[in-house]
Amino acid sequence: MSAANPVPLAVPSRQIGRSILAILAGIPCGVLPTLATDTLMHRIGVFPPLGEYTSDGPLVLATFYRAVYGIFGAYIIARLAPNRPMLHVMIAAGIGVLVTTTGAVATWHQNLGPHWYSIALIVLCVPQAWLGAKLCPRRSCPAT
């Protein structure tokens, strides 16, 4: 570390491991509740059976709870990050953008629902990650 560059040149492997674990722990905290809620919504009839067209109303609900769970997952990542929690959640957001974009491309021509839903899931990855990191109290999280 030099006076002009306050960032260490080498990151200890332990910190890299903790960074990876923070991301790998936080992502399921957003994904698993989403999958459980989706399953419940299908079982109680709020969503149609898998593979059938879903109208706007249920998708608005799904967008809302997915965003809430995404914020929670980002909060967990920020809380567990050994340093620079915002960087950690933005890495996870990038993974989210890749996954949701892949899903949108794969289902675009299957007439499963309005296209705004797929686009919303992509667009919301970064803001929900940012908010999750910002909600982490300063005393609990490394400097954001």
Rounded distance, CA 115 to CA 113, Å?
Answer: 6
Are 107 and 118 contacting, i.e. CB atoms less than 8 angstroms apart?
A: yes
1 CB-side CA count, 13 A: 4
Please state the pTM of the whole predicted model.
0.86
Residue 44: what pLDDT?
Answer: 97
Low-confidence ranges of the chain (pLDDT < 50): 1-2
Rounded distance, CA 60 to CA 75, Å?
Answer: 23
**Token pair recorded at residue 24:** 């790998």
Of 127, 92, 124, nearest to 21 by C-alpha is 92
Residue 143: what pLDDT?
Answer: 57
Of 105, 124, 109, nearest to 62 by C-alpha is 124
